[in-house]
Amino acid sequence: MRVYFSGIGGVGIGPLALIAHEAGHEVTGSDRAESLMTQEVAARDIAYQLDQSGDYLRQTHKKAPIDWFVYTSALPADHPELVLARELGIKTAKRDELLAHIIAEKKLKLIAVAGTHGKTTTTGMLVWIFKQLGIPVSYSIGTTLSWGPSGHFDPASDYFVYECDEFDRNFLHFSPEQAIITSIEHDHIDTYPTEAEYFAAFDQFIAQANHSVLWQQDAPPRSREHGAHLIDKTDSTVQQQMARLPLAGQHNRENAYLVLANCLNNGLDEAAVTAALATFPGTNRRFEKLAEHLYSDYGHHPAEVQATLQMARELSSDVVLVYQPHQNIRQHEVKNAYTDELFADATEVFWLPTYLSREDPTLALLSPQELTAKLRDTACHFAEMNDELWQKIEAKRRAGALVLGMGAGSIDGWLRGQATK
């Protein structure tokens, strides 16, 4: 089967391209610009072009017919490649449809990691454990990794571990053998306008899974009815077990506990799983150490910001946050959450302009001053990604502070570029 991936450099599409390639399908694709993911794709000798005008798709299809055109949810309906693919009669599908096809084709058991926060790291933990215990595993993780490809198909595997995103109702296209649900907090209002709709989607996802594990405190109304394994986060025994897990950050220990519960359900040895967790190197852009005293994190929701700051505070008493809000449309949703309490674990904050992506042009662009209006005690400075900011970051690092860059936009690339100069 010949598959064309539009947006092959994205963290959702790229891993799937790698998986399809390893599963024996002929793969090519396109993107707008180079990225860490296109580098990974190129390393597998997968041909792609930085041309999304439709010319490359037409040429490729003319040489040998394309069977599937796979695209990201972010692709607009009038995108030249999508329009052309339909004109040429090529089957078009979002990534979930092709992945479900491969899982069924290869007769794999799906372990899906879902939830509002923590999916990437939790998926990484589970894959890492399988690898350390010598269990063949196929998987897809929504980021690049320092210790392996972001997407992989192993013909010897029985399991496929998947970071199963709720955006665009992606996760409802799957019926997992097992599901780990890290957290549930209303998000993606463009897909789920109300909290009730969001929780109902998770209820449906749990109903579609043969077995699921999640915190009782997050559970949708019908979780027990669907046979979910609910764990009480406040139980003293659970608290003691979590405290013994060899990971920094309360949110990491909570997610690791759910992974451990899943592994025990699969008959794995507790001591071996815990030992594997102790060596977990993390995933890229999830509290990733770029240089001495310099870290990068993808977090862009207030709950993620607070959790990551708590983790940083376990490692340093002086945490300097460089924060880039993500999407103006999202800032209208979360602006009231930016309080002194949220940033309590940061010594000071450098606040960048919002990174704009998939915006509603009717919404007023919220300024850094408007977004920080509730901050009274937090030492907050407005900044731009320039030499002046980098000099301040360098000074903080020389003084021994832990500098944490956070955001899902361009801040990570900027920090990496500065750190390698």
- Identical fold for domains 106-278 and 288-419, yes or no, is no
Residue with tokens 């890229």: 284
Token digits of residue 249: 């950050």
pLDDT tens digit sequence for 162-179: 999 998 899 999 999 999
Bridge-based pairing of strands 151-152 and 137-140 is: antiparallel
> How does residue 297 score in pLDDT terms, banded at 50, 70 and 90?
very high
Q: Residues with Cβ < 8 Å from 41, sequence gap 6 or more?
A: 8, 9, 14, 17, 18, 29, 48
DSSP-assigned states of every residue in 68-108: EEEE-TTS-TT-HHHHHHHHTT-EEEEHHHHHHHHHHHTTP
Nearest by Cα to 180 from 221, 218, 136: 218
Question: By percentage, how much of the chain surpasses pLDDT 90?
Answer: 89
What pLDDT score was predicted for residue 142? 87
pLDDT tens digit sequence for 6-55: 999 998 899 999 999 999 999 999 999 999 899 999 999 999 999 999 99
Whether the predicted model's global pTM rises above the 0.85 cut: no
What pLDDT score was predicted for residue 146? 86
What pLDDT score was predicted for residue 144? 83
For residue 259, pLDDT beyond 90: yes
What pLDDT score was predicted for residue 72? 86
Residue with tokens 């907050």: 380
Q: Write down the architecture of domain 288-419 according to CATH.
A: Alpha-Beta Complex (3.90)
Write the single-letter amino acid at 76. Answer: P
pLDDT tens digit sequence for 377-397: 999 999 999 999 999 999 999
For residue 113, pLDDT beyond 90: yes
Question: By percentage, how much of the chain surpasses pLDDT 70?
Answer: 100
* Extended strands (E) in 275-390: 288-291, 294-297, 319-323, 348-351, 380-382
Over residues 406-414, the mean pLDDT reads 95
- The answer to whether the beta carbons of residues 92 and 86 sit under 8 Å apart is yes
Supply the mean pLDDT for the chain.
Answer: 95
Cα→Cα distances 287→229, 295, 376, Å: 29, 6, 27
What pLDDT score was predicted for residue 311? 92
User: What is the CATH number that goes with domain 106-278?
Assistant: 3.40.1190.10
Helix axes 236-243, 250-265, angle to 10 degrees: 100
Q: Where are the domains of the chain?
A: 2-94, 106-278, 288-419
H or E element in which residue 271 lies:
helix 270-278
Indicate the SS3 state at residue 245: coil
User: What is the CATH number that goes with domain 2-94?
Assistant: 3.40.50.720
